[in-house]
Structure 1
Amino acid sequence: MKFSTASPVFFIFSLVTAAAANAVPVLALPWGEDGEGKRKGDYGYGGCDGGGTRSPTRRADDSADISASLIELHKNLCEIPSVAPNELAVGDWLATYLESRSFTVEKQEVARNRNNIFAYLGNESQTRTLVTSHIDVVPPYINYTYHSNGTITGRGTNDAKGCVAAQIKAVEALLAEGLIGEGDVAMLFVVAEETDGAGMIKANDLGLTWESVIFGEPTELKLSLGHKGVLRFNIQAFGKAAHSGYPQLGINANDHLVEALYILSKIQFPGSDLLGDSTLNYGVMGGGTAANIISPYANASVAIRLAADPLLVKNLVNEIVRGRSITLTWFERFYGPQYLDHDVEGFETEAQAYGTDIPNLKGNHKRYLYGPGSIFTAHSDAEFVTVTDLIESVEGYKALIMHTLS
């Protein structure tokens, strides 16, 4: 089973006109019979379609209902602003939705008005598999817009409310098909992934363990091989203020900062064959009080995307700046490269350069990373996901869930 946009497994859609751009679309399903009594949309799950294991089929009218409800769920999630730390409204809506689908729902308080949403079947919160993603987004809020070409734009459409919607619909579908039951799968949707990871860190207090955890982030429908780690520090430079007409009377902190950043930017950091180079970015800089005053203070915030051991990189940075007129302050929280499980047939694979909540969830579980949309548009004013990718990701999540339970 190959999950690609060219696969006949997935739907070809007749989309509504541009005049209905903001409405939930009605999706036509044009597949026919293949001559053996099965529709071209029928499927089995990777690793679960032989030897007496479970292998369902689906009907076109069932798929049409699932597709329309997926787009509606995605729309509702995206239309509720949830720029961190203001995730309360979307969390409350999601909890109500899941309860209406007969899931048991717990709200786990992370901070005042910030709740993780944890859902499972029946009374069994301890399950074999967990599917999880995040409900917070980066600023600014951008309106949800459904376009007649099957593209959906807006904040969170791929990062990561596309994952949230597809994961929920995957679980709902497997439940309706009788393939999962109480004790098999739980869902966890966390806050604060885009900031400090406080939501997933708090999830450790649930006191639960899983055999497998399926994380949702935009991976272009590819199963992740791994992703880079992150190491952060601040730089401070101190000088002495003076009139800019007499620079010899002062010490320019900006000069010290710029020189240090230039040297750091030229370091060839160690990397790996899988993840490539470790890369440094100084994303925030500040200094000085006025153009006619020698700057007495300057600072910068730096992040390194790690493809190598974090302590090795940290020691290299410290050695490079040793003896310079700057001070480095390292963030306490950091993590190294993450190497993930990908033992599932039928998926393309790829490594990612971004970070996720994966290292924040402790345990010995298998770790899978998958989702619709591209990180290349996430966090931008052009963020989008396509309808076909959303639909395909539901099938991908179903296959991953069934693999973990096989």
Structure 2
Amino acid sequence: MDLFNLTKSLMNIPSTSGEEEAVGFFIRDHLTELGWNVELQPVSANQDNVIATLNGTPRVWMSTHMDTVPPFISPTEDDEKIYGRGACDAKGIIAAQIMAAEQLRKDGINDIGLLYTVEEERSSTGAKAANEHSLAAKCEFMINGEPTDNDLAIGSKGSFRLKIKTSGKAAHSAYPEQGDSAIEKLLDILEDIRRTRFPHDEFFGETTVNIGEINGGIALNIIPPRAEAGFLIRLTTEREPIETALENIVRGRGEIEVLSCSEPVKLHEVEGFSRKVVRFTTDIPHMPNWGTPLLIGPGSILVAHTKDEFVLKSDLEKAAELYVGLARRLLD
């Protein structure tokens, strides 16, 4: 199966976070047919990481995630691009890595492994499970794949997910003085957060805050007794100063519930590659046992997670070549 057909075959299998089983089985069967030793590492019910090796102690690994964001968008193509969910994030990357690994194998290089994880798009449970695998200690370099426009990322921001919840007292909306609006409390907190200037880092850039979800209330004629907002903060520092700032803002007006956190990371640099810092986070912070991390892959993060997601076919071909060259450099 060639690079483009492998990409489309992977994309044809829906695999939103929590539903990666079928695509994992496909990758297992494909790699087994090619002659790889393949293990399914259980993560949770119907969720398995895929781990493939050619020898017992690979020094260099290539990895990315099998899950996608919703909704499923079946693949289409033209002469230049492949469109659909997972084209660049990250089914095309899986295909490029497999093709690169096969090329290395044909060249007599077997000191490589492949690792494909579940649930990167939510909480990186697959990466956390992979970090406990015995093969991790034998890995020297982990080449992680995300859409970086085929530039080598030398750093990536962290990700801090949390909720702020407020409570009030329900009452008839005609008599608001009898109640206490949780939504109004939440709006005051949100306004204070929007006015706050969070830390800036010379290397990683600005800390940014996305208020991604707001929920609350019961009905239009009831003073709302509860409300909550969900946040994703792109970290440029450790979590502690951000969490302290939020606690000072909330000041007893609500409760903070931490959902997950990935710290910002600086990544391995290799001469001869275009380099940049990326604003998104990856599985890398959750896999510290897997050697020195690198980050590179085809496609643009600006179209990932959108209805117009695509990857240039030429970028897929270039990525496969870059993975081969990078692995060779790291194994020298």
TM-score range, shorter chain: over 0.9
Matched, 1:153 2:83: yes
Structure 2 match to 1:239:
168
- Residue 192 of structure 1 and its aligned partner are, at CA, apart by 1.0
Which ranges in structure 1 are unaligned for 5 or more consecutive residues?
1-67
Is 2:262–2:281's contact at 8 Å kept on the other side of the alignment?
no
The counterpart of 1:193, out of the listed 120, 144, 149, is 120
- Mapped to 2, the partners of 1:160 and 1:125 lie a distance apart of 26
The AA in structure 1 aligned to 2:172 is H
Aligned pairs for 1:1-400 (under 5 A) are 69-121=2-54, 124-148=55-79, 150-178=80-108, 180-181=109-110, 184-208=111-135, 209=137, 210-323=139-252, 325-331=253-259, 333-342=260-269, 344-363=270-289, 365-400=291-326
Is 1:162–1:390's contact at 8 Å kept on the other side of the alignment?
yes
Kindly tell me the number of residue pairs found equivalent between the two proteins.
330
Q: Which has the higher strand share?
A: 2
- Mapped to 2, the partners of 1:308 and 1:362 lie a distance apart of 18
TM value normalised by structure 1? 0.79
Between the two structures, name the one with larger relative contact order (CA 8 Å, sep ≥ 6).
2
State the SS of the aligned residue for 2:262: coil
- Residue 384 of structure 1 and its aligned partner are, at CA, apart by 0.3
State the SS of the aligned residue for 1:205: coil
- Mapped to 2, the partners of 1:328 and 1:118 lie a distance apart of 37
Further displaced range: 356-365 or 209-218 = 356-365
Superimposed CA distance per residue, residues 148-187 of structure 1 (whole angstroms, 9 cap, x where no aligned partner)? 3x11100001001111110110110111122x12xx1111
Is 1:125–1:186's contact at 8 Å kept on the other side of the alignment?
no
- Residue 268 of structure 1 and its aligned partner are, at CA, apart by 0.6
Identity level (%): 38
Q: Name the CA shift for 1:76/1:218 in 2 (closer, same or farther; >3 Å).
A: same
Computing the radius of gyration from Cα coordinates, the structure with the larger value is 1
- Residue 306 of structure 1 and its aligned partner are, at CA, apart by 0.3
- Mapped to 1, the partners of 2:263 and 2:41 lie a distance apart of 28
Is 2:101–2:324's contact at 8 Å kept on the other side of the alignment?
yes
Structure 2 match to 1:7:
none
The AA in structure 1 aligned to 2:282 is T
The AA in structure 2 aligned to 1:294 is I
- Residue 364 of structure 1 and its aligned partner are, at CA, apart by 6.7
- Residue 232 of structure 1 and its aligned partner are, at CA, apart by 2.3
Displacement over 6 Å in runs of 4+: none
Superimposed CA distance per residue, residues 186-216 of structure 1 (whole angstroms, 9 cap, x where no aligned partner)? 1111111111111111112321221110000
Which ranges in structure 2 are unaligned for 5 or more consecutive residues?
none
Structure 2 match to 1:6:
none
Is 2:52–2:115's contact at 8 Å kept on the other side of the alignment?
yes
The AA in structure 1 aligned to 2:307 is D
- Residue 302 of structure 1 and its aligned partner are, at CA, apart by 1.4
Is 1:271–1:306's contact at 8 Å kept on the other side of the alignment?
no
Superimposed CA distance per residue, residues 227-247 of structure 1 (whole angstroms, 9 cap, x where no aligned partner)? 111222211111111222221
Structure 2 match to 1:64:
none
Is 2:264–2:281's contact at 8 Å kept on the other side of the alignment?
no
CA root-mean-square deviation:
1.3
